[in-house]
Structure 1
Amino acid sequence: MGLPRKALRTTAVGAVSATLVAGTALGLAPAAQAAPTGIRFVDITGDGGTVLKANVVTPANADDSRTYPLIVLPTSWGLPQVQYLAQAQKLADSGYIVLTYNVRGFWQSGGEIETAGPPDVADTSKVIDWALANTPADPKRIGVAGVSYGAGIGLLAAAHDKRIKAVSAMSGWADLIGSIYSGRTQHSQAAALLNGAGTITGRPSAELQQVFKDFFASNLSKEPELIAWGAKRSATTYIDKINANGAAIMLANAWGDTVFSPNQYADFYEKLTGPKRLEYRPGDHATPEVTGLFGLPNDVWKNTTRWFDHYLRGENNGIEREQPVQLKSRSTGGYEGYPDWKSVGATSRKIALGGTSTIRANVNSGADGGIIFLSSILDQIARLPPMASIPLLPRRYAAVWQSEKYASPQRVRGTAKLHTTVTSTKESGTLVAYLYDVGPLGLGKLVSNAPFTFHGQTPGKPFGVDLELFSTAYDVPAGHRLALVVDTVDPLYIEHNPAGAQLTFSSPAADPSYMSVPLREQ
């Protein structure tokens, strides 16, 4: 059973409205500033003759007798070409030629939305061609940066164009299906946001329209096609080409990104063999970068500039000597450095999930991941994640396990993992796991969550479930507990629980169930 269409429409309208309001502000705020010397709006012929609307910002008093490093900025999903103008001005002031363009299918650019398909990747190369022919850009010093959609396109372009020497991919994806279909579960609010924004601000291709139709309809017969469609648009598919080309890759994301989860970036980062950097901060999709789009001080954009300064201009600014994995804690707001991702949460503690618990499906127990954007932004600004009263959760609809009280703070870092045995009365179903920080009064603050959907199981026959929750950095205070809650309904996801379904969780002696919690050493 899927999320009701009325709920999907409501979710889409709210999410799209918020995005378009933000997009309008982001588009107009930089444009309202004084136009910099050397800015011009141009038309660029993209792949197949498609016209791309773009703007070029050059250093003041640029000398045509010399060359300058080039940075290309593809726009985010649904946002206009002036999105990056404030940052483009800053980069130009420091000696870069900056070319930002509206990706095909959106706003005034021609074509249809290809969702980072081959035409989008080819467009990036065409834009580089144009810049080399029409500006004093240096062909040996080319970088690509972007937020969200622009980040995904930038990573793909680095696999297909050897001229690209550095990339900063902010709040993007490396695995598209691993983002919006993780745990074989449709992330309905995220997809509704993308679908709605694309329809309002652009021209979705027939292929994309069919993908969304099959996605929301839970059409399992189309699942192989969906996965193949996503793989073609995922940088992880082309990891060998990216490594062979050797571009320096910087990845930045938010712990609470409800569109592109942090896990898929970490997996991709570990596969990179060239110069690389991975940054995580509190927030939701693209919220850590948003102040930088207004030209305000911003850590992500600051490090992006440092990244390009070193790898395109050869500046000895020390970024290559810093710990390459940089995490900002949701609890302290401080940064922590690690030599690699596997060093994050170097130790782990298991919470035994003993006994047997049976829950009924199709009812939201009161534990959920919150609302797209709103919940993670509250966590980012006020450290107020989604909450639930753990003692009051109805055990008919939620299975609950708790740890002992911790005598010292527990610094959760990385990816918590659930291992359990499930028996269903139906062949299909969905479960959602939540990890809570529980205080003395029983109020739980959400640490992480993740969905899991199964199909084709034999009713009454136990099967194993291994589920990675979304990666995070969160401190559990001394005197608190950790609690695992599992139920079957969450507004963030489409669930697949037939009417009358029940799920039983057990812990066989030969294969005990547990939650493995990664911890930073004290």
Structure 2
Amino acid sequence: MRRLAAVLSLLLISLVVGAAPVSAAAPTTGFHWNDITAADGVTLKSNVIEPTTPGAYPGVVLVASWALNDFQYLAQAKQLAEAGYVVLSYTARGFWLSGGTIEVAGPKDVADASSAVDWMIEHTGVDPQRIGIVGMSYGGGISLLAAAHDPRLRAVGSLSGWADLGASMTGGDTRRPQAAWFLQTAARLVGRPSPQMNQILDDYWANRDAEGRERWARERSARYAVDALNRSHPAVLIAHSFGDSIFPANQMLDLYTALDTPKRLELAPGDHATVEISGLAGIPNHVWTSVRRWLDQYLAGVDTGIGDEPGVVLRPHGSSAVEHFPDWPHVTGHRDRLQLGAPHGLIATGDLSPHSQPAWTRQIQAGTDTIAGGGVALLSNGLEGLTGIPPIVALPAVSRRNAGVWLSGAAPAAGWKVRGVPQLHAPLTSSRPLGTVIAYLYDVNALGIGKLFSHAPVTWSGTRTTVDLPLQVTAYDVPPGHRVALVVDTKDPLYLDANAKNSTITFTSGSWLDLPLA
């Protein structure tokens, strides 16, 4: 099976490299396949390509994604080498022909990145003072951790990576079965999970030893190494998708804000690694264009202007616009607090209103799904990135027995520009001492058809709680005359909920939605 996959991978990469543009390219050595000996003696498979003309060149280490190998970046590596970079790509330990077991960005993976830098300095014409590291997904997370521990890495490109592995696994204290199944299955197909990884996943599925899983995840999270990153002071580029179902984007906002380095944050519609994936075929796209400008600015000594541009770049849903902000606090101009009112009418729907509401309660039956949902991991938001069409719901058809639904007034002539992190505040009472709710925000037209533009889950213990739930960061324009709908239900295939069938959850007055607006 693995031999067949390797052959197919070689055929695919040959097509990819052939498709890469070569106009005005400097001569290169071509690709050389190498073994890198890690600090613990494990062999890492890699390839290197560099310019043929004499001189000391800037260098880039490219870290392969989860379940992929060093062939992944051949098109980008070729273009970088033709532009005057020494480029080394390597397969992370435990995957494909690299030795060892999958450590999930543990200390051995961080040390492996330094071993790649050592090899590059010893065997190529790289300038040791001008080395950067770039990776997608798994490679993006390792790149951030490596730069925190190795000050020789002067520039970082983290594409669809993570900053907080714990938040990725159990954000809102809610587990993500689709994402976990995908990563576990891919690892078993083309890799060798470590005993520790297997134990962590066994505990994850069984929902046990949460404290142990959190300690394990914390060691693998750049969010908790931000002081070291700031001391090393590399230039950090973060590119991410609003709808990333593997590593939800809010964690990257926290990391970006905490960085005291040259930094840039780019957010766009799509799902995990879908925005930048076409660049692997050598096709120009905005993420890899930014990576190239970033490396040229901070490694090659070329003034691309990117260092003087505003640090936050947003590409709103369903739009070709590109918006620039000096920092994250400037993304949201103000927040409108919309009070949740008592559901009323034949199809019970409450108001989302800026005005105070009379006292009310609303009980729903938990444990049964509704047609409201976050879609399918990797697929739904990925398709939105390609087609502009997000998950859609017919709002009148959402079961009021199993969900609470609230609807705002019509947007004004200028519409609403939602920019930032919406937040739900809701006192809740449950009939059993564990519960989960999932909140969804929809843009609803005159026919009652809603387009999803943010959502998030939260799980709690106890029969009474007040949730303060940050939903996914978004940049979405609600058209004039459309309304914003809040749907809160208790089940979604994206998440493992804590609800029992036919238990109840009661909402009360004193609930509100904070909507961030430009």
Amino acid at match of 2:40: G
For 1:15, the equivalent position in structure 2 comes to: none
- 1:30–1:83 contact (8 Å) kept in structure 2: no
Deviations 1:111-169 (A, max 9, x none): 00000000000000011001101111111001000000000000000110011100000
Name the CA distance, whole Å, in 2 between partners of 1:25 and 1:224: 45
Deviations 1:400-456 (A, max 9, x none): 11111112311111100000100000100111000011110111110110000112x
For 1:306, the equivalent position in structure 2 comes to: 293
Deviations 1:472-522 (A, max 9, x none): 111111111001000000011111112331100112xxxx211111111xx
For 1:471, the equivalent position in structure 2 comes to: 473
For 2:399, the equivalent position in structure 1 comes to: 394
Name the CA distance, whole Å, in 2 between partners of 1:21 and 1:442: 50
Amino acid at match of 2:495: Y
For 2:118, the equivalent position in structure 1 comes to: 129
For 1:40, the equivalent position in structure 2 comes to: 32
- 1:27–1:80 contact (8 Å) kept in structure 2: no
Amino acid at match of 2:264: R
For 1:384, the equivalent position in structure 2 comes to: 389
Amino acid at match of 1:419: H
Pairwise CA distance, 1:28: 5.4
Q: Runs in 1 of length 4+ with deviation above 2 angstroms?
A: 19-38
Q: How do 1:395-474 and structure 2 match up within 5 A?
A: 395-408=400-413, 409-455=415-461, 457=462, 459=463, 462-474=464-476
Name the CA distance, whole Å, in 2 between partners of 1:441 and 1:284: 28
Name the CA distance, whole Å, in 1 between partners of 2:500 and 2:9: 39
Q: How do 1:274-289 and structure 2 match up within 5 A?
A: 274-289=261-276
For 2:517, the equivalent position in structure 1 comes to: 519
Matched, 1:90 2:79: yes
Matched, 1:62 2:62: no
Identity of aligned residues (%): 45
- 2:439–2:457 contact (8 Å) kept in structure 1: yes
Which of 101, 108, 116 aligns to 1:112? It is 101
SS in 2 for 1:181: helix
For 1:9, the equivalent position in structure 2 comes to: none
Name the CA distance, whole Å, in 2 between partners of 1:264 and 1:22: 35
User: Structure 2 length as normaliser, TM-score?
Assistant: 0.92
Pairwise CA distance, 1:38: 3.1
| Deviates most, 165-174 or 210-219 | 210-219
Matched, 1:230 2:230: no
- CA gap 1:465/1:237 in 2 versus in 1, 3 angstroms: same
Amino acid at match of 1:240: D
Pairwise CA distance, 1:305: 0.7
For 1:6, the equivalent position in structure 2 comes to: none
Q: Which runs of 5+ in 2 are unaligned?
A: 23-27, 343-360
Pairwise CA distance, 1:313: 1.5
Name the CA distance, whole Å, in 1 between partners of 2:226 and 2:401: 45
SS in 2 for 1:47: coil
Name the CA distance, whole Å, in 2 between partners of 1:269 and 1:82: 30
Name the CA distance, whole Å, in 1 between partners of 2:454 and 2:60: 36
Pairwise CA distance, 1:32: 5.8
Which of 375, 379, 385 aligns to 1:374? It is 379
Q: Which runs of 5+ in 1 are unaligned?
A: 1-18
For 1:30, the equivalent position in structure 2 comes to: 16
For 1:239, the equivalent position in structure 2 comes to: 226
For 1:188, the equivalent position in structure 2 comes to: 177
Q: CA RMSD in A?
A: 1.8
Amino acid at match of 1:372: A
For 1:251, the equivalent position in structure 2 comes to: 238
